[in-house]
Amino acid sequence: MKSLVILGAGTAGTMMASHLKKELNKSEWEITIVDQHKTHYYQPGFLFLPFDTYKPEDVKKTIDEFIPKGVKLIREKIDVIDKDSDTVVLEGGKKLKYDILIIATGTKTAPGEVKGILGDYWYKSIFDFYTYEGALALRDKLRVWKGGKLVIHITEMPIKCPVAPLEFAFLADSFFIKKGMRDKVEITYVTPLSAAFTKEKSAATLGYMLKEKGIKIVTDFAIEHADGKNGKIVEYGGEEVPFDLLVTIPTNMGDELMARSGFGDDMNYVPTDKNTLQTKVKENIFAIGDCTNVPASKAGSVAHFQAEILTENILLYIKGKALKPDFDGHANCFIETGHGKALLIDFNYEYEPVEGKFPFPVVGPLSLLRESRLNHWGKLAFRWIYWNMLLPARKLPFVTPKMSKAGKNFN
Amino acid sequence: MEKVYAGKTVSVDKDGYLTDLSQWNKDIAIEIGKEEGIDEVTDKHFEVLAYLQDQHKKEVALSIRSVGKSGVVDIKQLYELFPKGPLKISSRMAGIPRPKSCI
């Protein structure tokens, strides 16, 4: 009996378990998945929790219910990967020998990386919404907040879901308008990048949005520390941005498991081939989702497209055949823009988001890089698709793992 | 678009960033440095530029904090070498694009 071990039962890990259970011969392969947690969160839902658009129950289910029958789930913390002996060591001391290892441990926020974020003002005037607890604490604050300077801030790239901070700014604008208090709130978006929209077509098409919504922007801001007492964030160059309520996206790092195991870059991401998803650590170790260092966005849709291609490559690897460098960095993401509308962007390593229709040319029905109500409904409907189609690895009709050029306006 | 730096014609984007790293050379870095107010480009400057180019080739996302942790230079030094917008300026001098997001 050969052994395939998956580390992490989040979006990517669960999808791989579902795919491989269908493809691998059960008399030849035992599939094991390891995750210390009990809860499977629908992370795109965290954006909606602070605004009371989703309830807590809407974004969580159990990890167990999505693990296919026949796949062994071990609920334990992973201590280290010993690549030389093809063994995963769990915290309790148990050892899992593997023939093939798939790392799917994701990325998480590290708020301690910036001085002044954690401490006396954390969850009082300084919040983040990238965790379930953080999003709910922010919800409680927004329910009673009387107004002032709201600063939405990104510490450094890469982050998972790179558009979420912008979405938060847009949703905050609508939220306060609806509450009849928008004039009491000053919203500022602070980014380490040089613009809110850094890609040419996006900047041209959407550049008006921030101005139209009265959202101020501060660019090239590299945060040095947060001063909760005096309500300001301070840049290495000395620039200061005052706040009454700070919503920060902390540094996103991969799991410390990588550091303990002796591989991983300085942010704990796994060095991985960007097209085959085989890691550069050892040929029988693969990686998928947010934990890799590939230059694709860290997003659920990316993990979904990667899963289809990685499954194929695992099967090729087992047969001793050459892997296909088929992953093209494809991402497909909805972006909430407020007032019941959203954008859809579809792009990959080579092509930036452009206007057009998706998935079918002309008829769409979804519009690329343009606001529409249908896109907003698409984003909300996506939650059902996530639980019922993506996680169980059911094929999504009309959406291909490689980005399609059909329907896109490239000129 | 095209621009001439140190007698060489290079392709640049609308913000003056080189679009083809293979066209870069040290003289171009010095001239861009002058445009950015850096009168003297030292070996230390070039060390940082080399690091940035290497990270770019490896497709690693750059940030002030990550450059500061690189071992090549710390953040204080980075601001001394490239005052006011160090990542913006050093990227342009290194002939690599500005850090971008997906959108």
pLDDT single digits (tens) A261-306: 999 998 999 999 999 999 999 999 999 999 999 999 999 999 999 9
Cβ(B30)–Cβ(B17) below 8 Å:
no
Structure tokens of B14? 């609308």
The pLDDT score that the predictor gives to residue A411 is 84
pLDDT confidence bin for B29, thresholds 50/70/90: very high
A114, A107 in Cβ contact below 8 A? Answer: no
Rounded distance, CA A185 to CA A172, Å? 10
Q: Do B99 and A295 touch (CB under 8 A)?
A: no
For A40, counting Cβ atoms within 10 Å of its Cβ (0-12 exposed, 13-18 middle, 19+ buried), the class is: buried
CA distance B58 to chain A (A): 9
pLDDT of A185 higher than 90? yes
Question: Any chain A CB within 8 A of the CB of B99?
Answer: yes
Residue A361: the pLDDT is 95
Neighbours of A56 (CB within 10 A): 12
Q: Tell me how far apart the alpha carbons of residues A43 and A132 are, in angstroms, rounded to a whole number.
A: 8
Chain B CB contacts of A329 under 8 Å are none
- Rounded Cα distance, A386 and A113, in Å: 32
* Contact state of B87 with A220 under an 8 Å Cβ cutoff: yes
pLDDT of residue A179: 98
Minimum-distance CB partner of A266 among B69, B83, B86: B69
Q: What is the mean pLDDT of residues A141-156?
A: 98
Q: A156 to chain B: nearest residue by CA? A: B63
Of B63, B102, B103, the CB nearest to A156: B63
| A397 exposure class (CB count in 10 Å sphere: 0-12, 13-18, 19+) | exposed
Task: Tell me the per-residue pLDDT of A169-184, one tens digit each, with 9 for 90 and over.
Answer: 999 999 999 999 999 9
Q: What is the pLDDT of residue A44?
A: 97
Mean pLDDT computed over A238-253? 97
pLDDT at B95: 97
Q: What angle do CA B77, A108, A249 make, to 5 degrees?
A: 60
Give the confidence band of A65 by pLDDT, cuts at 50, 70, 90.
very high
A109-134: per-residue pLDDT in tens? 999 999 999 999 999 999 999 999 99
The alpha carbon of residue A216 and the mean position of all alpha carbons in its chain are separated, in whole angstroms, by 25
Smallest Cβ–Cβ distance between A202 and the set B64, B75, B103 belongs to B103
State percent of chain A over pLDDT 70. 100
The mean per-residue pLDDT over the stretch B61-73 comes to 92
Task: Specify the pLDDT at position A207.
Answer: 86
Q: Calculate the CA dihedral of residues A49, A53, A55, A56 and round it to 10 degrees.
A: -20
Chain A neighbours among B 47-86 (CB < 8 Å)?
59-61, 63-66, 69, 75-76, 79, 83-86
Going by the DSSP 8-state scheme, the letter that residue A408 receives in this structure is B
Q: Known catalytic residue: B90?
A: no
Instruction: Using a CB–CB cutoff of 8 Å, tell me whether A163 touches chain B.
Output: yes
Catalytic, out of B1, B39, B84, B102: B102
Lowest mean per-residue pLDDT among A213-222, A343-352, B65-74? B65-74
Q: Is A306 exposed, middle or buried (0-12, 13-18, 19+ CB in 10 A)?
A: buried
Q: Which amino acid belongs to residue A173?
A: D
Interface test with B, best of A236, A349, A368 (most B CBs within 10 A): A236
Q: Does position A82 have pLDDT exceeding 90, yes or no?
A: yes
Cα–Cα distance measured from residue A402 to residue A320, given in angstroms and rounded to the nearest whole number: 24
Q: Does A198 touch chain B (CB under 8 A)?
A: yes
Cα–Cα distance for residue pair A72/A20, rounded to 1 Å: 13
Residue A50 has a CB neighbour count (10 Å cut-off) of 25
How far is C-alpha B94 from the geometric centre of its chain's CA atoms?
A: 3
The whole-angstrom separation of Cα B45 and Cα A197 is 29
Q: Which residues contact A216 (CB under 8 A, 6 or more apart)?
A: A186, A187, A188, A189, A210
Coil vs helix vs strand at A253: strand
pLDDT score of B57 more than 90: yes
The yes-or-no verdict on residue B74 having pLDDT over 90 is yes
pLDDT at A315: 98
Residue type at position A205: T
* Rg, C-alpha atoms of chain B: 13
Q: In chain B, where are the structural domains located?
A: 2-94
Mean pLDDT of chain A: 97
pLDDT value at B32 more than 90 = yes
Across the interface, of B64, B83, B103, the residue whose CB is closest to A192 is B64
DSSP state of B18: B
The domains located in chain A, with CATH, are 2-108+253-318 (3.50.50.60), 109-251 (3.50.50.60), 331-390 (no CATH)
Which residue is it, tokens 């000395």?
A238
Comparing C-alpha atoms, which of B102, B97, B99 is closest to residue A165? B102
Q: Nearest residue of B to residue A251 by CA position?
A: B65
Spatial separation of the C-alpha atoms in residues A26 and B53, rounded to whole Å:
47
**What pLDDT, on the 0 to 100 scale, is given for residue A113?**
96
Residue B84 has pLDDT above 90, yes or no: no
Answer yes or no: is pLDDT of B58 > 90: yes
* pLDDT value at A222 more than 90: yes
Kindly report, residue by residue over A2-54, the tens digit of the pLDDT: 999 999 999 999 999 999 999 999 999 999 999 999 999 999 999 999 999 99
Residue pLDDT, tens place only, A355-388: 999 999 999 999 999 999 999 999 999 999 999 9
Please give the helix or strand (H or E) that residue A366 lies within, else none: strand A364-368
Instruction: Indicate left, alpha or beta for B60 from its phi (over 0: left) and psi (-120 to 50: alpha).
Output: beta
Q: What is the mean pLDDT of residues A53-61?
A: 97
Contact: A193, B98; criterion CB under 8 Å = yes
State how far the Cα of A322 lies from the Cα of B77, in Å rounded to an integer: 46
Which residues are A217's β-sheet partners? A189
In this predicted structure, what is the pLDDT of residue A166?
A: 97
Q: What is the C-alpha separation between A405 and A392, in angstroms, rounded?
A: 27
Contact between A31 and A70 under an 8 Å Cβ cutoff? The reply is yes
**H helices present in A190-299, as ranges:** 200-206, 208-212, 257-261
Pairing state of beta strands A100-103 and A2-7? parallel
Q: Is the dihedral of CA A237, A108, A277, A283 positive or negative?
A: positive
Report how far residue A286's alpha carbon sits from residue A163's, in angstroms, rounded to the nearest whole number: 27
pLDDT of residue A151 exceeding 90, the answer is: yes
